[in-house]
Amino acid sequence: MSAITPGMVCAHHHLYSSLARGMPGPLTTPTNFSEILRDIWWKLDAALDQEIIYWSAALGAAEALLSGTTSVIDHHESPFCIEGSLDVIADACEFVGVRHLLSYGITDRWSDNGALVQVSPSGSMTQAAKRGLEENKRYALTGRPAMVGVHAAFTCTDDTLEHAAALSEELGVGVHIHVAEAPEDANAGARLEEFARDNWLLVHAVHLDRYLPGVIAHNPRSNMNNSVGYARPSLRTNTIVLGTDGIGADMLEEFRLSFVRHRDDDRSATPDNSWKWLQNGNQFFPEALNDKVTWSYDHVDDPWKVAYTPGIRCVQVEMNGKKVVDNGLPVHFDIQEVRAKASEQAARLFERMS
């Protein structure tokens, strides 16, 4: 019996989407995954500038910390504000005090004339993808923890995938990429097979038709929210980790959703698989094992009990021997101020999107 755990890890986040709640909805209701991307997320990411990115990341990081999540693997995209964007996110995470592993998701979906286009695998690499790749490289060479980000195979040419894989080899870091999230990207397995390595982070893998080396990030809430199907992570031989895909960073909640979705698919499922997936996140941040998170529930080390106890709150967080959350509030920054700044930037963002 214990009320204390190590620091939680969110293994796939989009801190840039923290301001998305309350944004203007699409003019028509999306009927498939491509329309969800085109009419919602690609409108949002195209409207980001550095100030919006900073406060969006600060809010997302603050909400992570207050949920006992001390480390975040982020996948960023801001196609009209590429250069320096990863430094802005790192600065925001460091202001809050959350560990970060960042990447810029390159894509060829924006043509050299700035138009959103359908990408043909045989096309050549766009200027935007080159600039995104350069941002990954520049940022990694600053020495902050980095991966090489790729949006997804279906929005990249083969040329771009090859360049991303080559940069990842050159830098000695993995590629962080969405893989077969929806039927639109179902041939990701075939296109990535020659490139994928054990240090890759493969996100979603819902419709992945073969084994690819790498760690798979399972995002149960996001998959349900986008109606893309169940990934059946327990049937994969890869190491599985849990992510939120940008919908907060409350990892105990993601664990509960992971379990109940598993149970929905398989009556005999136990919470042990999902608990293991949650703990596997620490492979990316071994330091978080030394963090002490105190919860509002004294059986937080028991997967069965946590699975059936919604609403467990993070009360206190200690990182590197120092208290950073006390009584559910941050010690080193003012959460109301972060919310106020984020709210100002949300208004600017919604204006730019309209």
CA of 269: how far to CAs of 24, 235, 302, in Å? 39, 12, 16
CA of 167: how far to CAs of 35, 132, 135, 174, 175, in Å? 31, 12, 11, 9, 9
Residue number, 185 or 245, with CB nearest to Zn ion: 245
185 is an interface residue for Zn ion by CB under 5 A: no
CB of 150 to Zn ion, least distance (A): 11
Contact by Cβ (8 Å): 12, 201? yes
Residue number, 202 or 300, with CB nearest to Zn ion: 202
CB of 243 to Zn ion, least distance (A): 7
Cα separation of 32 and 352, whole Å?
Answer: 25
CB of 267 to Zn ion, least distance (A): 29
Q: Which of 269, 270, 241, 264 is nearest to 254 (CA)?
A: 241
User: Going edge to edge, which strands form the sheet with 69-76?
Assistant: 8-13, 69-76, 99-104
DSSP one-letter code for 195: T
CB of 293 to Zn ion, least distance (A): 25
CB of 14 to Zn ion, least distance (A): 6
Q: Which of residues 242-261 bind Zn ion (CB under 5 A)?
A: 245
Q: Which of 212, 215, 276, 278 is nearest to 243 (CA)?
A: 278
Which structure tokens are listed for 287? 């330091």
Residue number, 167 or 228, with CB nearest to Zn ion: 228
Number of residues binding to Zn ion, judged by CB under 5 A: 1
CB of 245 to Zn ion, least distance (A): 4
Output the residue with the shortest Cβ distance to Zn ion: 245
Contact by Cβ (8 Å): 307, 34? no
Residue number, 216 or 312, with CB nearest to Zn ion: 216
Residue number, 63 or 245, with CB nearest to Zn ion: 245
Site string for Zn ion, 209-248 (x = CB under 5 A): ------------------------------------x---
Residue number, 245 or 318, with CB nearest to Zn ion: 245
Interface with Zn ion (CB under 5 A) = 245
